[in-house]
Chain A
């Protein structure tokens, strides 16, 4: 992995060369996950470059989620990023459990509101019709992963009103009430959150986040759910397979 698409050679800036040295050592297992890499001072001495250059090289790898800086201790190698595919329709908890990790959520809001023009159009319902609005932070192994906003027409699952979402996942509820989600159309953009929302993810307002927008349909092509999920990019890699056979 490499943020520069040019081949790194001796003419490349020093910080890029150092970054690729560290990246290769991580990939080759010379710097195993959980261990600290040499100090800035040591790296500077080994490669005969100044500390600011070392810091620049390391900063990029911290942003990419390969390294983690721990105040007062040093810079540590993180394990492989979680891989998530972009093809399987499943709820957040299901996806996380499959990876043998522990999902949890904090519900920030759950309310009924009028659909308004925007969601009226998305769900093909009257703007005055009620929809559920759920806003939650999703955690994987207690680390914040995504901030999600979910919209569901009241008519789809009126029972939701009395269900505690800290006990049951949205997909479990769909299962209980035989709501069949056949497929979901997903788009992926980059976005940022304002200060007040960014803090739920433990990032700042300048951190780029992956924005997944999902529109979920039943077999009769009616829209059942619409969601937006801002996801920390340093927590996962997204994988997709493609084929020429339709």
Chain B
């Protein structure tokens, strides 16, 4: 067993994390200058810069050109295993979730959707595309396809104000029972980049999911792209 010690850069990464913790720095608080940090942590500029780069990639700090390095705001954590709405998770950490409806339509089911939603070609589907913002910052874009036969007239609701699942349950008495999600990574297109206020080609989480009633009827199929610097996913693993 080799007894090599920590790489200097890793050591400094841990020291900076501890510095933030110890001094109870809050999101957007400024870190000391490079020179001060070098002195404080007893390290060289090169090592410090390597450590800062690492912490930026991990979303712990961010830098603003000419202004310095700051503590990054906590990402919103979404538990993949419960159905708690994003709005509720946001509220629990004193963040405000708002919604902008980008697009709605009633379309006829095409081949792709027919396979995914187990509906015949030509069935009516309500499309709802929403942009979700956390404290005003665009965090995710979601496109939902909903079996219109279960929710006639749903297009009259304003989903920038109303919760989709609440309307489904309270007005249409369709109760969501369970679902599944699949998660991967994709890159934003130019259009999406503009909506999400990120650079074209930024990698984001890509999620597709299905939501079912208790008797396995597909209520909704959705796709969403999620900014990884705004939202983090969590789950609990068990045997």
- The interface of chain A, by Cβ under 8 A from chain B, is 1-7, 13, 16, 24, 27, 60, 63-65, 81, 83, 86-90, 109-113, 116-119, 121, 133, 161-162, 182-194, 208, 210-211, 214, 233, 237-246
Contacts and interface: CB of A to CB of B under 8 A. Distances in A.
Interface residues of B, number: 69
Interface string B25-55: 0000000000000000000000000100110
B236 A186 contact: yes
Contacts of A2: 223
26 contacts: A1-B208, A2-B223, A4-B191, A4-B192, A5-B129, A5-B223, A60-B186, A110-B1, A112-B1, A112-B3, A116-B18, A117-B18, A183-B237, A184-B236, A185-B237, A186-B234, A189-B228, A190-B185, A210-B185, A214-B237, A238-B183, A238-B184, A240-B181, A242-B83, A242-B180, A244-B83
A187 B77 contact: yes
Given A4-B192, A112-B1, A194-B53, 15 more contacts: A13-B190, A88-B237, A111-B5, A112-B3, A188-B234, A188-B235, A189-B232, A190-B203, A190-B204, A190-B228, A238-B182, A239-B183, A240-B80, A242-B180, A245-B178
Interface of A is mostly: mixed
B70 interface: no
Interface centre among B129, B175, B180, B204 (most CB of A within 10 A): B180
B224 A5 contact: yes
A64 B225 contact: no
Contacts of B67: none
Contacts, number: 180
Contacts of B170: none
B64 interface: no
B81 interface: yes
Interface of B: 1-6, 11, 14-15, 17-18, 21-22, 50, 53-54, 57-59, 75, 77, 80-83, 103, 107, 111-112, 127, 129, 141-143, 175-192, 203-206, 208, 223-225, 228, 232-239
Given A4-B189, A214-B237, A191 B57 contact: yes
Given A188-B232, A211-B58, A111 B3 contact: yes
Nearest to A197: B54
Contacts of A184: 236-238
Given A5-B225, A210-B185, A87 B232 contact: no
Contact of A111 (B1, B180, B223): B1
Contact of B203 (A81, A193, A208, A240): A208
